[in-house]
Amino acid sequence: MKGKIPTLQDVAKEAGVSAMTVSRVVNDHPRISPETAQKVKDVIERLGYTTAPSARKRGRRSRANQGIHTGHIAVVTLGLTGSALKIPLFATTLLGVQNALQEADLSMLVTPVADLSRLPGLLDRRSVDGIIVTGYAPPADLKKLFKNLPAVYAYNILSDPNDTLKVDRVVPDNKAIGKIAADYLSEEKCKKAVYLDPSPAHPEFKVRGEAFKKAFKANGGEAVLIVHGKGKSQDRITDPDMKEGVLEQQIDELLEMKGVDSLFIPSDRLTARVYACLREKGVSPSDYKIISCNNEEPYLEGLYPHPATIEIGAEKIGEAAVQQLIRRLATKDGTSEILRIQPELIRNTGKI
């Protein structure tokens, strides 16, 4: 950790606990066992982690010392319609945000912005202390606003790798996700895998696919990426996973291939569509060993055979985004960080 300021996530990883547990230890929460509290405190001391003073049970003056003036944090969902906000991934992320804000005695204002050219007037320092942004990348003319407001981005919504907007981000470790999928299929003796990505511009799906192909090849297998690479993030507003008709074309391409024994699909929502599309074309999903991603039970529970999936830690991403924003409000050191939440393989998604 030499030369790097330790973060709350660093403490959580070193102690083997969640970011929320670290926060509770810092705030002397009564529901933490003495053993866990001492373990976390030992790591804090060893790493030299400097915590932001708690906002709980403090007067307005002490909160102001942390950059907290209104007690309100806005969660801005850029370019998402009402139906997209019902996706379990977003709902779970918001749950993590809400839990962490309640722990800090802060209130949450959820601000859906379907039209990226129109933002609510409340997004200034007189109304909110900071923002957590998710959804799609802000257009160039809006980046100034997000630069001037303390902000943390949940998920890698900046699709341009050369983007110079310096903000804190909390993301799933997408390279690790790709490797987990590759290792799982390799353990299942699969030799030729296809990665399906019908999204025109989804930066995280792209990273997952490239990491998957590299790892599966290293394991001795052959991986083919079937991706739809054209389009901009705004093209995805009606559906965050796919453009209409693209998946069907990709399934046709898959069925023309010889020797494919397995599939990696970058979201459970998309996996449910793949199952339906295969059956519409007279093909059983059981013809392939399938691994999906996100661990979204509402999409998985109706699928047979049950695919494996990867838990990306959506709730932890929400919690970590809040903790990083609170820390950023207190420090204002001008740096930016990317915090990566580690994924976990879920082998059996079926009901017992």
Side chain identity, residue 261: D
- Over range 321-338, report the average pLDDT: 85
Q: Report which secondary-structure segment, H or E, holds 195.
A: strand 192-197
Q: What is the pLDDT of residue 210?
A: 95
Please answer whether residues 236 and 230 qualify as being in contact, where contact means their C-beta atoms are separated by less than 8 angstroms. no
Per-residue pLDDT tens over the stretch 27-54: 676 668 888 888 988 988 888 876 554 4
What pLDDT does 300 receive? 93
Q: Token match 């696919």: residue?
A: 209
Does a structural domain hold residue 53?
no
Q: Based on the domain organization, do 125 and 27 belong to the same domain?
A: no
| CATH number of the structural domain spanning residue 217 | 3.40.50.2300
Pair (207, 305) in one structural domain: yes
Asked if residue 284 lies in contact with residue 278, where contact means CB atoms within 8 angstroms, the answer is yes
Q: Is the pLDDT of residue 60 over 50?
A: no
**Mean predicted lDDT score pLDDT of the chain:** 82
pTM for the model stands at 0.78
Instruction: Specify whether 164 is located in the same domain as 179.
Output: no
Residues 40 and 109 in one domain: no
Confidence label for 184 from pLDDT (cuts 50, 70 and 90): very high
> Could you give the number of structural domains in the chain?
3
pLDDT recorded at residue 70: 86
Domain that holds residue 164: 60-171+314-341
Amino acid at 190: C
* Confidence bin at 59 (pLDDT 50/70/90): very low
> Which tokens go with 211?
């990491």
Residue 231 confidence (pLDDT) above 60? no
Q: Do 133 and 208 have their domain in common?
A: no
Q: Is it the case that residue 183 has pLDDT exceeding 90? A: yes
Residue 54 lies inside a defined structural domain of this protein:
no
Write the pLDDT tens digit of every residue in 258-313: 999 999 999 999 999 999 999 999 999 999 999 999 999 999 998 999 999 999 99
Give yes or no for a contact between 76 and 131, defined as CB atoms under 8 angstroms apart. yes
pLDDT band at residue 56 under the 50/70/90 scheme: very low
- Tell me, yes or no, whether 52 lies in a domain: no
Scanning 191-296, the segments in alpha helix (DSSP H) are 203-218, 246-256, 268-280
Q: Which helix (H) or strand (E) holds 180?
A: helix 174-187
Q: Which residue has the higher pLDDT, 40 or 349?
A: 40
Examine the domain organization and report whether 93 and 166 are in the same domain: yes
**pLDDT exceeds cutoff 50 at 236:** no
- d(Cα 323, Cα 13) in Å, to the nearest integer? 14
Q: In terms of domains, do 82 and 204 share one?
A: no
| Residue 249 maps to a domain | yes
Q: What is the pLDDT of residue 331?
A: 81
Same domain, 17 and 37: yes
CATH label of the domain that carries residue 32 = 1.10.260.40
